[in-house]
């Protein structure tokens, strides 16, 4: 952030390491607050609708918690909340975080030498005005063959259980096997 006092407080409604790193690298100071919602209870057929609904549900849960605890009234600064969600679409099926080592391996093995779509949403909510603005984007990701050893190392690190589709593209073990990422317009 530029020098001087900020006129707003930023809350990242996400435990995503990638989202935290992006804001930190941009120089923003922020508070992390997770929504603790049951994401599996929110279902939509289209991935764009699902990630949008999940980002909205996260924002609503965090706003409700802050209002119920009186934390918003204590802070005189404008507060911005950023919530987001991501899913992977592979062979027409929506994939969220894998639930087991077996499922994580199946996910990653399927991408090896193939491709999948990543659909993500972001929602920014201004607590003072109540205004929210968001959107979604999609990209097609093409992979080189991913060796079994790399899959094992990722699973041993627990990485697949923290990210939609079980594969963090920017992870140092994964990145060499990403052939290309093409934004879908």
- Report the C-alpha gap between 154 and 87 in whole angstroms: 19
pLDDT tens-digit readout, 28-68: 999 999 998 998 899 999 999 999 999 999 999 999 988 88
Please check whether residue 3 lies inside any domain of the structure: no
Average of per-residue pLDDT values in the chain = 91
Number of domains in the chain: 1
Of the residues 85, 152, 156, 179, which is catalytic? 85
> Residue 98 sits in which domain range?
8-184
pLDDT at 34: 92
Instruction: Kindly indicate the confidence band of residue 79, based on its pLDDT and cuts at 50, 70 and 90.
Output: confident
In a domain, 2, yes or no: no
Residue 128 has a pLDDT of 81
Structural domain contains residue 1: no
Residues 99-105, mean pLDDT to the nearest whole number: 97
Cα distance between residue 142 and residue 140, in whole Å = 7
Contacts 24+ apart (CB under 8 A), 97-105: 97/160, 97/161, 97/162, 97/163, 97/164, 97/166, 98/160, 98/161, 98/166, 101/155, 103/166, 104/154, 104/155, 104/160, 104/161, 104/166, 105/151, 105/155
Residue 23 lies in a domain: yes
Say how far apart CA 100 and CA 155 lie, in whole Å: 10
**What is residue 43's predicted lDDT score, i.e. its pLDDT?**
93
The verdict on residue 90 lying in a domain is yes
Q: Does the pLDDT of residue 72 top 70, yes or no?
A: no
Please spell the DSSP secondary structure of 125-183, one letter per residue: EETTT--EEEEEEEEEEEE----HHHHHHHHHHTGGGGSGGG--TTSTTTGGGEEEEEE
Mean pLDDT confidence for 2-10: 60
Query: Does 67 reside within a domain?
Result: yes
Does the residue 65 lie in any domain? Answer: yes
Which CATH number belongs to the domain containing residue 107 in this structure? 3.90.950.10
Q: What is the pLDDT of residue 1?
A: 40
Residue 75 falls in the annotated catalytic set: no
pLDDT above 90 covers a percentage of the chain that reads: 79
Given a cut of 80, is residue 73 above it in pLDDT?
Answer: no
């Amino acid at each position: 952030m530029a020098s001087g006092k900020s006129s707003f407080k930023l809350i990242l409604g996400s435990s995503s390491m990638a989202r935290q790193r992006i804001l930190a690298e941009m120089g923003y100071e922020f508070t992390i607050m997770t929504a603790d919602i049951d994401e599996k209870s929110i279902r939509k057929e289209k991935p764009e609708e699902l990630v949008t609904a999940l980002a909205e549900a996260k924002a609503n849960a965090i706003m409700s918690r802050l209002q119920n605890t009186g934390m918003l009234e204590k802070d005189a600064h404008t507060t911005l909340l950023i919530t987001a969600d991501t899913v992977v679409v592979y062979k027409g099926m929506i994939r969220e975080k894998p639930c087991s080592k077996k499922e994580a391996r199946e996910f990653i093995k399927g991408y090896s030498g193939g491709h999948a779509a990543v659909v993500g949403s972001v929602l920014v909510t201004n607590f003072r005005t109540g205004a929210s603005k968001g959107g979604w984007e999609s990209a097609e990701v093409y992979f080189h063959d991913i060796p079994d050893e790399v899959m094992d190392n990722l699973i041993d690190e627990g990485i697949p259980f923290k990210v939609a589709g079980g594969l963090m593209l920017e992870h140092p073990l994964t990145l060499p096997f990403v052939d290309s990422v093409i934004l879908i317009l």
